[in-house]
Structure 1
Amino acid sequence: MTLAKDKPGNPGTEELPLVWYSWVVAVLCLLSYAVSFVSRNVWSTALPVAAPALKLSMTQAGGLMTAFYIGYVAANFFSGFFVDRFGPRKTLAAASFFTGLFTLLIPFASSYVTIFLLRVGAGIAAGPLFSGGVKFQLAWFPQKARATAMGLVMTGPALGGVIANGAFAPLIQAKGWQTGFKIAALVTLTVAVLTFFFAKERGSALGTASKSVRVLTPEEKAADRKALLAVLLKRSFIVGCVAQMVMVGIGQGWTTWIMLYFTKVQGFSLAKAGALLAGTGLVALFTGTSVGIISDLLKARKKPCYIGAVGGFVFTAALLFTTNVALLTTFLVLRIIIGAFLSLINTMQAETVVGPYAGRAMGIYNGICQLGSVIFPVVLGLLLDVSGGNFFIVLMSLATAYLVVGLLVGFGMEETVKVTTKPTAAA
């Protein structure tokens, strides 16, 4: 579905004006993210119940979270081609549809291997999610509002986390882990339908297969590939990939094991732990957009990341030194608020790749980043098995990783906001 008045002869780097429907598209991207994170993270919510029922070790349990990201990482390296070719509307709708379908089949699986393979399949299906969302944002939002849009869309993972913890934890405790997977799948399938019928494309979001887009000449295709390669080999872009890979690893390592930390170490019931994490996670529904607004007003992306790195370290480590519920709640909230500034890494990377190759570039970027999701859950699970369940090692590893991200941003990435000054009149 496209807007006729916004069809250019060939999608490029031009900025189209911000209109009311820009926010409709952003919300659809947000929902696509949210249901994807419900489907992928319902396993971490179900883990305290499902792992004993399936007689899994902690390494095997972490492996089922990693399984999703094995497929997701692999798919990101080629799914950007489909986003650029067919446009983000069809690819995002297909991503949600097949993610939901594979998730729906998991409760009917009878073996660990089958569940593992279905999780891999769900991950492959979700491959176009990030590159498709970025393609939409670059087309619908000019630079002056882009960080705000990125912040709003990236609220989706937080919303998915709140739903997975707040709604699914008591549901799983009462009805079983299989019911949780079935409902997660149905919600994901619903968003697939909404995206297909209500998302619209314009400008650089139009796929190259669209009838409204002029077919590129061989020379133009060669220039396009050359420009893409130049972006991928840029030092700032490469360092940004590594920094976000660590950030994604922190997030998935946290999501996979924090529920178990609160139930096994802090002594919470599954429902109470879910309520605490969902309640504090509500803050993340506002922090992404707020950080984007602050960044757009300050006309800065890089410096706010330093605040996020330090805050993430301090308030993740702080959870190890108290059992007081009020303090735990405070540290969880502050960790989310301050750590949110690191989400600007995604905005910097997106602004680096503006152009008709954005889908491919951001697909490759996200593929590299999601290696963190493959590595962190299983490595942390292995550490837990080897150390006899020592969560001090796990949380301190996650906390220290924040400082690593701060150093990478500080010494390896370039500021992407172009601040222009008006020329002074000659005397």
Structure 2
Amino acid sequence: MSSRPDTLRTDATGSAQARAGYRWVAVLLGWIALDFTMIDRLAWGSVAVVASASLGLPLMALGVFVTAFFCGYVVANGLGGFLTDKVGSRVMLAGTMVALGFATFGFSMTPGIAAGIALQALMGLAAGGDVAAAVKLITAWFDVKDRGKAIGFLLTALPCSVMITNALVPLLMHSLGWQAVYQILGVGTAAFGLVCFWAVRDAPVRAVAQRAGKVRLGPLLRHPQYLLLLVAGFGGYWGMWGFTFLVNALMVKRYGLSPAAAGAIVVWFGATSLISKPVVGYLSDALGGVRKSIMLVIMVIFGVLTVTFGFLDGTRQLTIGAAALGFVSLAWSPLMTATVAEAGGKRGAGLSTGIANGLWQFAGVWSPAAAGLVFQWTHAFHAPFYLLAAGPIVSAIALLWVRDGASIDEADPVDPRA
């Protein structure tokens, strides 16, 4: 007859095994959610030219729907992070997917420009809680020293969604029409929301009770470590988005490459950026959760390679340079995301992630515009790359004062009765 201690040990072992198995299910669910969000967002780029005719939208105004989604998404990030901390990742992910699915389906029936702008803004508002909910889910299921690889895999959703969108949306559009594309995406997104409601568990049983509590915005925005992380992340995305949006046009202009040849070079940028996130996340975990030092080194290399790219010549050099830049351009992002989430403390991982993700979105707007103006003024191929390199260099400087594991709980401890 087994003793009570033996029974307790058996139960504990079974619980640990169940947790180890489920936590990667949680990562997969978050990854699929981010894919749906990005595909719904990016689909317009593939259908815009065809859809503009039926909507009476001038070709020069095709970007207005992209802007509408962006505005809704940025506004919703902070609110989505706040709600994630209050209601948990399960309810937030499910609600985000269902609401986004309905809004996406509704866009297929838009009668004109005004309604389309409103629906795209609504889609952005609905999608705004995706990253915060997914990251908070990972912080609940993975210990600090195991989060790097998990978030690294999660963040591969962005490049994967780009590939999925470009592979599937044009085929669906030509076969069924652009309205059917949004109807299929809407139904699929909402259905996955129901899957999330059924399958997502906010945390291991013993940690569920810690989910709710007072979310502290003031201490978060006053915490110097969090502010430094906001600057560091913005600088990294400044360099990455500026390069992504401008490099094709700059190579065509400077070297006379065809768009296809320039695109073949940039494919290597995307491929290496895809594999770098889980690789660096795994490295961080293998070193015991070290993040600051790895991020700092990556940012310095990122800045140097960005400047160097402006002086390369020939297809082979440009291909090698793009591949190298691709690896470092987002290799820092899983570590930054994990550190930002932890800076929010036990109660505020969703809020800290939501605010950061919302702010960092602006790097993708301002950086390409600024670098494009520099090229227009100077007509020098290398000049924009100096401006883009300033982003990761500023990030490296900010990271000098960051400490691994810094949290607002240090200055504003959580009340155990909260």
Q: Which residue of 1 aligns with 2:344?
A: 353
Larger radius of gyration: 2
Give yes or no for contact 1:204–1:356 (8 Å, CA) kept in 2: no
Instruction: Find 1:401's aligned residue among 387, 391, 397.
Output: 391
- Superposition RMSD on alpha carbons, in Å? 4.3
Instruction: Find 2:231's aligned residue among 213, 220, 242.
Output: 242
Partner Cα distance (2:35, 2:113) in 1: 26
Q: Which range moved further: 110-119 or 361-370?
A: 110-119
- 1:352 to partner: Cα distance: 1.9
Distance 1:172-1:109 versus aligned 2 partners, 3 A rule: same
Partner Cα distance (1:41, 1:79) in 2: 20
What are the within-5 Å matches in structure 2 for residues 9-408 of structure 1?
19-44=20-45, 54-57=57-60, 64-106=65-107, 108-109=109-110, 111-168=112-169, 185=186, 187-203=188-204, 213=209, 224-225=214-215, 229-254=218-243, 256=245, 266-269=257-260, 277=266, 280-299=269-288, 300-317=290-307, 320=310, 324-343=314-333, 344-373=335-364, 375-376=366-367, 379-380=369-370, 383=373, 396-408=386-398
Q: Which residue of 2 aligns with 1:425?
A: none
Give the secondary structure class of the aligned counterpart of 1:19.
helix
- Counterpart residue identity of residue 84, structure 1: D
Partner Cα distance (2:49, 2:385) in 1: 18
Q: Which range moved further: 67-76 or 106-115?
A: 106-115
Q: What percentage of residue pairs aligned between the two structures are identical? A: 25
* TM value normalised by structure 2: 0.75
- 1:305 to partner: Cα distance: 1.6
Partner Cα distance (2:141, 2:230) in 1: 24
* TM value normalised by structure 1: 0.73
- Counterpart residue identity of residue 416, structure 1: G
Q: Which residue of 1 aligns with 2:4?
A: none
Distance 1:119-1:283 versus aligned 2 partners, 3 A rule: same
Give yes or no for contact 1:32–1:96 (8 Å, CA) kept in 2: yes
Q: Taking CA–CA contacts closer than 8 Å with sequence separation of 6 or more, which of the two structures ends up with the larger relative contact order?
A: 1
Distance 1:16-1:127 versus aligned 2 partners, 3 A rule: farther
Give the secondary structure class of the aligned counterpart of 2:259.
coil
Partner Cα distance (1:35, 1:389) in 2: 39
Q: 1:104-139: per-residue Cα shift (whole Å, max 9, x none)?
A: 444554655444333322211111112211221111
Give the secondary structure class of the aligned counterpart of 2:332.
helix
Partner Cα distance (1:243, 1:104) in 2: 37
Give the secondary structure class of the aligned counterpart of 1:94.
helix
Distance 1:74-1:402 versus aligned 2 partners, 3 A rule: same
Give yes or no for contact 2:220–2:344 (8 Å, CA) kept in 1: yes
Give yes or no for contact 1:242–1:368 (8 Å, CA) kept in 2: no
Partner Cα distance (1:417, 1:214) in 2: 20
Partner Cα distance (2:119, 2:28) in 1: 28
Give yes or no for contact 1:166–1:274 (8 Å, CA) kept in 2: no
Gaps (5+ residues) in structure 1?
6-14, 207-211, 419-427
Give yes or no for contact 2:90–2:202 (8 Å, CA) kept in 1: yes
Give yes or no for contact 2:72–2:125 (8 Å, CA) kept in 1: yes
- Counterpart residue identity of residue 234, structure 1: H
Give yes or no for contact 2:280–2:331 (8 Å, CA) kept in 1: yes
Give yes or no for contact 2:70–2:121 (8 Å, CA) kept in 1: yes
- 1:22 to partner: Cα distance: 0.3
Gaps (5+ residues) in structure 2?
1-7, 9-15, 408-418
Partner Cα distance (1:172, 1:372) in 2: 31
- 1:145 to partner: Cα distance: 0.3
Partner Cα distance (1:339, 1:347) in 2: 17
- 1:36 to partner: Cα distance: 1.7
Q: Which residue of 2 aligns with 1:413?
A: 402
Partner Cα distance (2:279, 2:237) in 1: 20
Q: Which residue of 2 aligns with 1:11?
A: none
Give yes or no for contact 2:337–2:353 (8 Å, CA) kept in 1: no
Q: Give the total of aligned pairs.
A: 387
